[in-house]
Amino acid sequence: MRAVFAFNNTLDKVILEPAASIYRDVVPDKGRVAVHNFLNNLRTPVIFFNAVLQGDFEHALQTLARFLVNTTAGILGFNDTAAELGMEYRDEDFGQTLAVWNMPEGPYIMLPILGPSNPRDAIGRVVDFIIDPLNIWAGNADNDWAVPTRTGADALDFRALHFDTIADLEKSSLDFYATVRTLYRQRRNDEINNGTVDPTISVPSIGERMDDGPALEEISQAN
């Protein structure tokens, strides 16, 4: 696992970190917030599906309302108008759904490129990918560019959003791998229990989607 982690970390240093640095320098704060909001809105159908499967119909209805409001009044989701109306974003995925169904998480694993995971969350990734309407549309319409473009945008958005936090975490950790493993487990337990993600546990994994952290709040407050 440490070898895979080292590979991922090298890939991050060579590709993703420099790209995120340029992105932060070139794109204004408001532009990055808009992109983040748009990507969250794209994920809404998957969140809705998992909320229904978890029996959390209140959250499912709010998620549906968020999607309708942000897609229309929020201009395809670039503005999080729903949050301004009191409908806060909360992510759900099939890994969380399996946890609600009492499936054990299994051992910690490190996936190439995708980063920290476990067997339950790995299965969840596959199911979320299959049920995502954008992926279904891309496959049926032969738009092969859509999925990698969105994946790259997700990774860039995440890395830029948590750029400073990841750097501080790496500098302060005696064992970066062990720290990432611990924080990943803590964050997933927090998400499964629908708690608030601790701002200090931004796990540096390529392409991993997370709830909004302090970096986004700071950007929003600065504008």
Written as one string, the DSSP assignment of 76-106 is TTTS-HHHHTT-------HHHHHHHTT----
Number of Cβ within 10 Å of residue 193's Cβ equals 10
Residue 47 confidence (pLDDT): 98
Give percent of the chain above pLDDT 90.
Answer: 86
pLDDT grade for 92, boundaries at 50, 70 and 90: very high
Q: What are phi and psi of 193, to 5 degrees?
A: -90, 10
Q: What is the pTM assigned to this prediction?
A: 0.86
Taking CA atoms, 72 is separated from 75, 78, 81, 84, 168, in Å, by 5, 10, 9, 14, 38
Q: Which residue has the higher pLDDT, 196 or 66?
A: 66
Residue 3: predicted pLDDT: 97
- What tens digit of pLDDT does each residue of 105-150 get? 999 999 999 999 999 999 999 999 999 999 999 999 999 999 999 9
Q: Rounded CA gap, 187 and 183, in Å? A: 6
- Name 216's Cβ contacts closer than 8 Å, sequence gap at least 6: 33, 36, 161
Specify the pLDDT at position 194.
87
Local structure of residue 212 (DSSP, 8 states): -
Tell me which of 147 and 196 has the higher pLDDT: 147
Task: Give the CA dihedral 168, 169, 173, 177, nearest 10 degrees.
Answer: -140
